[in-house]
Structure 1
Amino acid sequence: MGKRLTISSLAFFISVVPIVSGSRAAKSAPMLLRDGFAVTGVDGRLVIHDGNEANPKFSFDRWSFELDSDLSDGRGLVKAGASLELLPSSALEKMIADANNRTGTSYRLGGRVTRYRAKNFIYPTYFLPLTKTKKPLSSTSQKSPQQETRPTINEPNDVLTIPKELIEKLPDRKKGTDYRKRQEGKAIKTKLAEGGRAGKPGLKQDFILVDRTALFRDMSEGAEGGWREVSFVLDALGRTEAKISLRLLPCQALEQAQHEQSAEPDALRFKIAGIVTTYKGKQYLLLQRATRVYSHGNFPG
């Protein structure tokens, strides 16, 4: 009887301990946001990454966004005060340039959340600078009843008169308006604005890459932050064209492609689709889809 009690108690202990430890691990695990979650406008502060000085390999090129409020997708949650690393993009380059020209670093950020190796990132697409304004002080002085002016109500049959101040601001019809000159002035201003934009660096628009075949190159060797060493080289399929290499941004599609590549000794071909952006003269790809292409030995790796 005693042996049966001992065996049953041991079995109960073995079955309960994994459940308790699993629940503790689930509580301690971070509540990550899902990959592809759209951020429509969250307030926060642009901060430079603490590891830039410790790791000069990144060339002082890591930026984070400190949240002013909680960010949730309905399941995952990032608490206020937490920082999410910002991915390279044309919007981030503009954001950094704007922060260098103003005293504050508070912004309203829009973009897309990515998930890679149990960590969330934000791919910025637009931002709005935020500034604190002082509320005007309400005057406590009260007007005396004698100073209060009562509106004068005219009779319905009175002639409608226009105040002299408004008459002086009205354009003189006798002189007329030269609409052609006005349109020419607008056209000149538009050309100057376009010329000014063309001369500024980092203002290239993002574009979508669809159904291109590319070779997978992974030089990260599993290191932390190794996504910076992963790229896709667009395949010319025998044509004499310059090879274009796109650095890959961390996301679930990249993680899946790395998993497939890890099982093969040679570089794999994928048919890819994603968003191409430019950051400090280098092109990056936010991968949306990567489907393995089987060449059956027709195209050597």
Structure 2
Amino acid sequence: MKIGLTCCLILGLTFGVGAQPASAPSDPNAPIEKTRSLKPARKVPLRDGFVLNGCSGVVKRVPNQDRWFFIPETEITDGRTTHASEYPLELLPCSTLEKIGAMAETDKAVLLRLWARVVMYRNENFLYPVYFIPTSLVDEAAPTTPDQTQGRAVPIPEPNEPSIIPANIRSLLKPKQVINLGKIRTMLEVENDAVLANRTGFITIQPGPDFRPDGFGRNVEDLSFSLLRCTGLETIESQLASAGPSRQRYKVAGIITRYKGRYYLLLQRATRTYTHGNFTP
């Protein structure tokens, strides 16, 4: 009896009787399970209002969409956080973007140096471009030494020191021309972006978002501005979250621009106003 049990144990160990079946080799082409993939660390956005000062990179359009992205050649830092190179930043619609798009053929990239304002919306960065120089022109006219200021934070100059940003670029970042809404269609067709200063009107989120200024006999009843993504819009959306599709009255200030025949407004300030029972609508 003992001999029989011994023989069974030897046969079982030899031929794998009762052993667990070996797992099949994994397919090297099989996708990695989501549970095993490492989740990237949350990206800290660049500071709202930070200025890109002649950053080199490429602008590309998403195929079959009217969305443009700037891909910097070098990392961008605002002194607090760093945006990795070759990580795209979406460009907001504006007159400068329309000029960039006019240089690009179908689905082709544009190499350039870009001056732009960084804006933040829902913890994500966007760029409002104000000026650009095609790289080909820079290579022909500029010396071969690299620009050490590219991608770096623009330090705030002392009151008695000149700004390191050229005067023509500063004027684009802060347009001084206050727009006449009655002549806006003519003005924006031939000139750069303009300032809308302390105008009262209605903001509608759904559908929208857009801003429609008060007419009051100024022949602007049919004029409206699509609101660009920025912290100002995010604040308004939070305030009107419970208001539904109804429009609300605000006094706003910002930069007006034009893109492909449509008017846009980059909010700088928006204050809720109330009629208090007077004759305003």
Q: Report the TM-score, using the length of structure 1 for normalisation.
A: 0.59
Work out which of the residue numbers 66, 71, 75 in structure 1 matches 2:71.
66
Residue 229 of structure 2 aligns to a residue whose secondary structure is coil
Give 1:216's aligned residue.
203
Cα distance in 1 for residues equivalent to 2:77 and 2:189: 31
Residue 28 of structure 1 aligns to a residue whose secondary structure is coil
**Is 1:205 the counterpart of 2:185 in the alignment?**
no
Structure 1 letter corresponding to 2:273: V
Give 1:253's aligned residue.
232
Give 1:48's aligned residue.
61
Give 1:153's aligned residue.
none
- Within 5 Å, which residues of 2 pair with 1:68-83? 68-83=73-88
More helix by share: 1
Post-superposition Cα deviations, 1:81-137, rounded to whole Å, max 9, x if no partner, equal 100000111111111112339x8621000010110012110000000001267xxxx
Deviation at 1:268, TM superposition (A): 1.3
Deviation at 1:35, TM superposition (A): 1.4
- Within 5 Å, which residues of 2 pair with 1:123-134? 123-131=128-136
Structure 1 residue runs of 5 or longer lacking an equivalent are 1-23, 54-59, 134-200, 221-228
Post-superposition Cα deviations, 1:116-169, rounded to whole Å, max 9, x if no partner, equal 012110000000001267xxxxxxxxxxxxxxxxxxxxxxxxxxxxxxxxxxxx
**Is 1:96 the counterpart of 2:101 in the alignment?**
yes
CA contact (8 A) 1:94 1:202 kept: no
Q: Report the identity percentage.
A: 38
Cα distance in 2 for residues equivalent to 1:84 and 1:104: 14
Structure 2 residue runs of 5 or longer lacking an equivalent are 1-37, 141-187
Give 1:118's aligned residue.
123
Give 2:160's aligned residue.
none
Residue 104 of structure 2 aligns to a residue whose secondary structure is helix
Give 1:11's aligned residue.
none
Cα distance in 2 for residues equivalent to 1:276 and 1:63: 19
Distance 1:69 1:299, change over 3 A: farther
Residue 275 of structure 2 aligns to a residue whose secondary structure is coil
Deviation at 1:258, TM superposition (A): 1.1
Deviation at 1:262, TM superposition (A): 1.5
Structure 2 letter corresponding to 1:107: L
Question: Which structure has the larger Rg?
Answer: 1
Post-superposition Cα deviations, 1:219-260, rounded to whole Å, max 9, x if no partner, equal 25xxxxxxxx31001112x43733210001100011001111
Distance 1:119 1:109, change over 3 A: same
Count of matched residue pairs = 192
Residue 58 of structure 2 aligns to a residue whose secondary structure is strand
Distance 1:82 1:299, change over 3 A: farther
Deviation at 1:297, TM superposition (A): 3.2
Post-superposition Cα deviations, 1:21-49, rounded to whole Å, max 9, x if no partner, equal xxx99x82211012111111111001112
Q: Give the CA RMSD over aligned residues.
A: 2.5
Give 2:209's aligned residue.
230
Give 1:239's aligned residue.
217
CA contact (8 A) 1:65 1:84 kept: yes
Cα distance in 1 for residues equivalent to 2:247 and 2:93: 25
Structure 1 letter corresponding to 2:103: D
Cα distance in 2 for residues equivalent to 1:104 and 1:48: 7
CA contact (8 A) 1:202 1:279 kept: no
CA contact (8 A) 2:214 2:220 kept: no
